[in-house]
């Protein structure tokens, strides 16, 4: 979370929680593509004790380091660009991935990953990064980071569908062990 203000950071965490996992906690529902009316969201958060104005929300959306949230074209709705556990279809079109993508994880997960491949766990997809540095940061959230190299070119050739989110995260259903390398 990159907003400078600690209150913005806390609000951004709450937004992720609501928009990806528990919209009911703010008294709102997501439409099938994950969108929620901004006015309803702000009213729901306020009722729950987090008073957030449209100006606050605009600032959080604009300063989030991973560009986690996106407004609809008319600015009336908002959604998380990725990371949901609730059932939404974000409508991303399949895309041709770069030849190599990276996945950061914790060292202690490595043996299991090399045995069964990367699984999506609680999320809709396995998340991959185009940049090693990003993958290392993602891995560091779980422990001592290790970066796996994913042979995306071969996976794509073998028929795996890849998607890229509005904030540049690459998504794929799973990565079988044969496409993984630990440098
Ligand atoms: C691991 C953040 C054992 C996987 C980041 C990961 C990302 C396995 C953990 C986004 C496994 C799941 C996603 C297997 C996968 N055996 N462990 N077979 N398969 N794992 O948090 O990729 O801040 O659901 O390596 O920047 O860490 O939310 O996924 O360590 O883009 O916007 O299971 O979350 O973005 O952890 O992170 P997560 P992730 P946000």
Q: What is the pLDDT of residues 85-115, one digit of tens each?
A: 999 999 998 999 999 999 999 999 999 999 9
pLDDT above 70 covers a percentage of the chain that reads 98
Question: Is 86 among the domain residues?
Answer: no
Question: Is 74 among the domain residues?
Answer: yes
Q: How confident is the model at residue 42 (pLDDT cuts 50, 70, 90)?
A: very high
Q: Are residues 72 and 125 in the same domain?
A: no
How far is it, in rounded angstroms, from Cα 102 to Cα 79?
Answer: 25
Q: Are residues 22 and 71 in the same domain?
A: yes
Q: How confident is the model at residue 65 (pLDDT cuts 50, 70, 90)?
A: confident
Q: Residue 121 has what DSSP assignment? A: T
144-168 tens-digit pLDDT: 999 999 999 999 999 999 999 999 9
Q: Are residues 122 and 169 in the same domain?
A: yes
Q: Is 135 in the pocket of ligand 1 (CB under 6 A)?
A: no
Q: Is the pLDDT reported for residue 68 higher than 70? A: yes
The candidate with the shortest Cα–Cα distance to 131, out of 150, 118, 112, is 150
| Residue that is last in its domain, among 15, 45, 80 | 80
> What value does the mean pLDDT take over residues 40-68?
94
The best mutation among 69, 117, 121, 126 to test binding of ligand 1, ranked by most ligand atoms within 8 Å of the C-beta, falls on 121
pTM summary value: 0.87
Please report the pLDDT score of residue 102 as a whole number.
98
Q: Are residues 119 and 49 in the same domain?
A: no
Please report the pLDDT score of residue 8 as a whole number.
87
Distance in Å, CA 53 to ligand 1 centroid? 32
The count of domains in the chain is: 2
Residues 6+ apart with CB under 8 A from 180: 113, 114, 117, 118, 148, 149, 150, 151
Q: Residue 158 has what DSSP assignment? A: T
Cβ neighbour number for residue 46 with a 10 Å cutoff: 13
Q: How confident is the model at residue 5 (pLDDT cuts 50, 70, 90)?
A: confident
Report the DSSP beta bridge partners of residue 172.
126, 162
Residues 6+ apart with CB under 8 A from 153: 97, 99, 100
Q: Which residue has the least CA distance to atom 29 on ligand 1?
A: 127
Question: Is 1 among the domain residues?
Answer: no
Which atom from ligand 1 is nearest to the alpha carbon of 112? 16
CATH number at residue 10: 1.10.10.970
Q: Are residues 107 and 52 in the same domain?
A: no
Which atom from ligand 1 is nearest to the alpha carbon of 66? 32
Question: Is 121 among the domain residues?
Answer: yes
> What value does the mean pLDDT take over residues 169-173?
96
Q: Which residue has the least CA distance to atom 27 on ligand 1?
A: 138
CATH number at residue 175: 3.20.170.30
Question: Is 92 among the domain residues?
Answer: no
Domain with 170 in it: 100-181
Average pLDDT score over the chain: 95
| Residue that is last in its domain, among 46, 80, 114 | 80
Distance in Å, CA 77 to ligand 1 centroid? 27
The candidate with the shortest Cα–Cα distance to 23, out of 12, 35, 11, is 35
Please report the pLDDT score of residue 2 as a whole number.
61
């Amino acid at each position: 979370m990159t907003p400078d203000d600690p209150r913005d950071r806390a609000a951004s965490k709450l937004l992720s929680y609501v928009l990806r996992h528990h919209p009911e906690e703010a008294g709102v529902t997501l439409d099938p593509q994950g969108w929620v009316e901004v006015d309803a969201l702000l009213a729901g958060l306020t009722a729950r004790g987090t008073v957030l104005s449209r100006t606050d929300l605009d600032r959080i959306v604009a300063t989030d380091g991973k560009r986690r949230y996106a407004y609809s074209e008319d600015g009336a709705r908002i959604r998380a660009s990725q990371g949901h556990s609730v059932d939404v279809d974000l409508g991303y079109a399949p895309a041709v991935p770069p030849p190599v993508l990276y996945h950061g994880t914790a060292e202690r997960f490595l043996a299991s990953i090399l045995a069964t491949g990367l699984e999506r766990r609680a999320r809709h997809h396995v998340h991959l990064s185009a940049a090693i540095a990003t993958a290392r940061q993602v891995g560091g959230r779980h422990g001592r980071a290790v970066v796996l190299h994913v042979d995306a070119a071969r996976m794509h050739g073998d028929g795996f569908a890849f998607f890229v989110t509005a904030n540049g995260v690459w998504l794929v259903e799973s990565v079988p062990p044969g496409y993984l390398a630990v440098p």
